A and B are shown apart, each in its own frame.
Chain A
């Protein structure tokens, strides 16, 4: 049958604003989570990761929050810049599973 393209959630922000990108996961056994950024024509670029024994981790201009109770992950980008425009994916793995399971992605557009 005909394949249907993924409907990506979109987020549009003004330059300098803070951005929050959300992700829900389903596997309660997942114990490792990663956020990736993918620009057009490029492979996913690692942003930040977090293990399930943590609920918050900060990087440079980015913060990841993990709520295991509701199986929710978020990526906060401070002072968003035009160069942050991209598709952002969350990914999870669990236990001895070496594969990453990716979310659908969110398209972030930063308006100058």
Chain B
């Protein structure tokens, strides 16, 4: 079974631009979560989607948004990019319907904001 895939793998943007990242979960997984990883803050939860509905949200500004499609693929969008948004953005999928099921991560999208 293929793992979680994320595109693009690398991205360079300038301040003020917006960016859209894509995630395809493991086949059959309906839950997709997004995390931001930086050297300063570590791994931080952005949001989680299940059956096209946002089920949980972390403490990030409204510039960070996401959505999930009927095939469980998910996108996240960051508008008005800031230098501090430079990070590795990770997507994870979960196969069960409860929190006590493991999440599996993709390779991430490394975003650099200049």
Binding site for B on A (CB under 8 A): 3-6, 31-32, 34, 36, 42-46, 49, 51, 89, 91, 93-105
The total of chain B residues at the interface (CB under 8 A) is 30
B58 on interface, CB distance cutoff 8 Å: yes
* Contact between A43 and B90, CB atoms less than 8 A apart: yes
User: How far is it, in angstroms, between the C-alpha of A42 and the C-alpha of B90 when the chains are bound?
Assistant: 10
Binding site for A on B (CB under 8 A): 4, 31, 33, 35, 38-45, 48, 50, 55-56, 58, 84, 90, 92, 94, 99-100, 102-108
By beta carbon, the residue of chain B nearest A45 is: B105
* Contact between B107 and A43, CB atoms less than 8 A apart: yes
* Contact between B99 and A95, CB atoms less than 8 A apart: yes
User: How far is it, in angstroms, between the C-alpha of A14 and the C-alpha of B85 when the chains are bound?
Assistant: 38
Distance to closest chain B CB from A50 (angstroms) = 10
Can you offer 11 A-B residue contacts whose CB atoms are under 8 A? A3-B40, A44-B43, A45-B105, A89-B43, A93-B99, A94-B99, A96-B99, A97-B56, A98-B50, A98-B56, A102-B43
Per DSSP, chain B at the interface is strand
* Contact between B105 and A6, CB atoms less than 8 A apart: no
Question: Apart from A49-B102, A99-B45, A102-B42, what 14 extra A-B contacts exist at CB < 8 Å?
Answer: A3-B38, A3-B39, A6-B41, A42-B107, A43-B107, A44-B90, A46-B105, A98-B48, A98-B50, A98-B94, A99-B33, A99-B56, A100-B43, A100-B92
| 6 pairs of A and B residues whose beta carbons are closest in the complex | A3-B40, A43-B105, A102-B43, A99-B45, A5-B39, A32-B100
Residues of chain B contacted by A5 (CB below 8 angstroms): 39-40
Distance to closest chain A CB from B91 (angstroms) = 8
Residues of chain A contacted by B41 (CB below 8 angstroms): 3, 6
User: How far is it, in angstroms, between the C-alpha of A102 and the C-alpha of B37 when the chains are bound?
Assistant: 10
Greatest chain A CB density within 10 A among B38, B103, B105, B107 is at B103
